[in-house]
Each structure stands twice: as C-alpha cells, then as structure tokens.
Amino acid sequence: MSEVKIKDKTFRLFISEAEIKERVKAVAERINRDMEGKNPLFLAVLNGSFVFAADLMRLITIPCEISFVKLASYAGITSTGKVTEVIGINEDLSGRHVIIVEDIVDTGLTMQRMIETLGTRQPASVSVCTLLLKPDKLKVELNIDYAAMEIPNEFIVGYGLDYDQQGRNLPDIYTVVE
C-alpha cells in the first residue's frame, strides 16, 4: 500500500518491508560478530520495539537472552519529554553485556533514562540497538552502537511504531502526510 489512513491522519509509504528486513539483518550480523562469546542480554523496550526485537532475535546466532522493559514518553504524535517507567527490570545485570533494543531514538530522553537505570546495576557493558535514529532531533548526547537506519525528523508509523496505539501491525513504515 502506498498510503494508509489511521484515525484522522493519512500516511504514505516511507520504508518498505524488504528494506527493513535487509537493515535488520545487517545489524544482527554486526551484533553476532561484536558479541561473540559474550552471551548478551537483550532488553527490548515495549511496546514499540516488539516487532523489531522479534525479527532481530531470529537473526542472532550467538547464545543470548531477552527480556522486556516498558517505558513511556509519547502522547499521540509528540514526545511528552517525561519518561515514566512502567515495567521494571528483574534480571541481575551485574557483569552482563546488555543490549537495549529500541524501535526509534529521537530526542534520546527515553534512552538516556534507560542507560542511567541500567548503570546502577553494574553491567559489563551497555549497548544501544535501534531500528531508527533521528539524529537531528537528539536533545542529549548518546552513543548509539547499532542503528539500522537514520531518518529525518518526521512522524512515522508501522513495523511496531504506532499512532495512538494504531498501525503497529503494518509491515512497512509510513510517514504522515501533512
């Protein structure tokens, strides 16, 4: 579909499912090389990263584990700038190589909060893996170890990303038509 309508907005195709899969595979290959022999713990940030995390995990060939954390910082199509931890981390992270899996990093505030939270638990390392990065929107300095794609500052939906909880099921990524 070249366009989709979700609630009161129209979205046009931005990134195809085929391109997404290609980029996810490339990130997985880098992680497999970088984390060889380390048994990393992937921490997928819900709700948005669940599709990316599932596809990524199927391509990880090294021993690893996955868990989930839920943070919220969005209302509608804009970031509230305020991060609320909804579901915490139950695993012992001391000495572990942790890879945070996120759908999108835009302001960086959610990721900064997540990294600060993890740092108090003495992990061996913390890496950030995101499907999408909006470098022009970053408000904080972050080291993004694995970014599948960099995109301009546009609102997007699909492949796990939502507009008011709708559109996560779309296999492609769409951008809003103004």
How far is 150 from 132, CA to CA, in rounded Å? 6
Query: Is there a contact between 69 and 118 (Cβ–Cβ < 8 Å)?
Result: no
Per-residue pLDDT of the chain (178 residues; tens, 9 = 90+): 899 999 999 999 999 999 999 999 999 999 999 999 999 999 999 889 999 999 999 999 999 999 998 875 555 555 555 665 546 788 899 999 999 999 999 999 889 888 988 888 999 999 999 999 999 999 999 999 999 999 999 999 999 999 999 999 999 999 999 8
Return the biggest CA–CA distance within the chain: 49
Q: What is the sign, positive or negative, of the torsion defined by CA atoms of 156, 157, 160, 166? A: positive
- Beta-bridge partners for 156: 175
The residue written with tokens 């970014």 in the block is 147
The residues carrying an active-site annotation are 106
Query: Is there a contact between 110 and 92 (Cβ–Cβ < 8 Å)?
Result: no
- CA-CA-CA-CA dihedral for 137, 113, 89, 150, to nearest 10: 20
Query: What is the full DSSP assignment across 83-104?
Result: EEEEE---S--TT-EEEEEEEE
